[in-house]
Amino acid sequence: MANRMGNMTKLIIIQPALPHYRLHFFDSLSKLDVDDFSVVYPSGNLLNADGSYLWAKVSGPLRKIFPGLYWQVGVMKLPVDKQTIVVVAGAPRCITNILFLFKAKLAGASTVWWGHLWSSTSKRWRFFLRLRFMNIADAVLFYTDKEASMYSNNFLKEKKQLCRGLNNGIDTSKIELLREEYESISREKSLLFIGRLTKKSNITLLIRALSSPMLLDVKLYVIGTGEGLAEIQRMSDYRLVKDRVIFLGGIIDEVEIAKYANVCRLFVYPGEVGLSLVHGMAYGLPAIVHSNSDKQMPEFSAFQENITGRSFEMDNCDSLSIVIYEMINDTQKLNMCSNNCVALINTSFNTEDMTRRFRLLIDEVCLRSQYRIDTSENSPRDK
């Protein structure tokens, strides 16, 4: 990629946490041709990843100042100028994100709002408030192309504002090495669930579905933990499916995850799915998810009906049971969907493509900023 950074010497990304799955992406971004790249995240956050990276800068803690509102200590002291690009996480509940965005604009820095347009937890009033803040930034970077298209077509008021999609994903380089060839007829009649065991996952619906007479020969591997584990285990006992539900705990070692992903026929997530969908599809597992896109996370856009899997009616146990039964026994369709999953994740929704897209956006921001600086410096002044 051609270097277009010009006079832009500093890139600052403000984050509410530094989760493990973001490390590869941020480390790739650190190779950008800027003098100073940093990801600023709060101390004392359980999601913060271990490890030492020169670009990872710890601010003060993330403090609750009012119910639902937070302050990231130390962020407002960060220096910015015209040679700075500031990327803030699109989380209006963190007040410092908004104030630092204003500070950057007043200093003449280039600004990027990075977040989702709508997710399963969005409220209408918060959505419109978020839109107002988005309009302040020079560019908006959404989690997916679908969101970027929706924003451009319906909400983009300032035509000079850049709007792009990232297609949020995971590092699939290790998965590509571990993934075994998918031939459905040679695999177990098994399902894979990956994710936190919370109300959002709605995994209890999947446990109920497994008790259907048509699924008595189907097993479920559960990778994940959370506050809902005890309830799910009790339900497995009550529904008489505990011998077919294998709880594996919160595995993060990809080698261990691959042992189970490579024997399953399907990935199933009955709740509000996000990156877990991409994780399952990266192993070539056709996906079963619910069909209400308004109650899904942005990464749901990686799913394509009858191409990468099938959907069921949200919260409908009978619908889920029928779709699992039909899919798990249709070996020809499973093979077709598996090939499509691998092809899609090889192309996008991975950190390599995310890095490429992010760099292209920063290039565009730099070009516009350089033009703004040049015209400002060459404009006639009062004598």
Structure confidence at residue 9 (pLDDT): 79
Asked if residue 252 is part of any domain, the answer here is yes
Whether pLDDT at 91 is above 90: no
| Domain coverage including residue 23 | 10-169+350-373
**Residues 139, 26 within the same domain:** yes
More confident residue, 31 or 315: 315
Asked if residue 2 is part of any domain, the answer here is no
Q: How many domains does the chain have?
A: 2
**Residues 188, 270 within the same domain:** yes
Asked if residue 5 is part of any domain, the answer here is no
**Residues 43, 31 within the same domain:** yes
Asked if residue 361 is part of any domain, the answer here is yes
> Exposure string (b/e) for 68-91, b if CB count within 10 Å is 16 or more?
eebbbebbeebebeebbbbbbbbb
Q: pLDDT class for 146, splitting at 50, 70, 90?
A: very high
Asked if residue 378 is part of any domain, the answer here is no
**Residues 179, 153 within the same domain:** no
Structure confidence at residue 158 (pLDDT): 62
Asked if residue 125 is part of any domain, the answer here is yes
The string of DSSP codes covering 295-344 is GS-GGGGG--BTTTEEEE-TT-HHHHHHHHHHHHT-HHHHHHHHHHHHHH
CA distances to 130, 213, 347 from 105, rounded to whole Å, are 17, 61, 35
For residues 273 and 318, give the distance between their C-alpha atoms in angstroms, rounded to a whole number.
20
**Residues 309, 364 within the same domain:** no
Across the chain, mean pLDDT equals 90
**Residues 343, 354 within the same domain:** no
Whether pLDDT at 147 is above 90: yes
**Residues 165, 224 within the same domain:** no
Q: pLDDT class for 2, splitting at 50, 70, 90?
A: very low
**Residues 30, 53 within the same domain:** yes
For residues 297 and 266, give the distance between their C-alpha atoms in angstroms, rounded to a whole number.
20
Say what the pTM is. Answer: 0.89
* CATH code (residue 21): 3.40.50.2000
**Residues 202, 260 within the same domain:** yes
Asked if residue 4 is part of any domain, the answer here is no
Q: pLDDT class for 276, splitting at 50, 70, 90?
A: very high
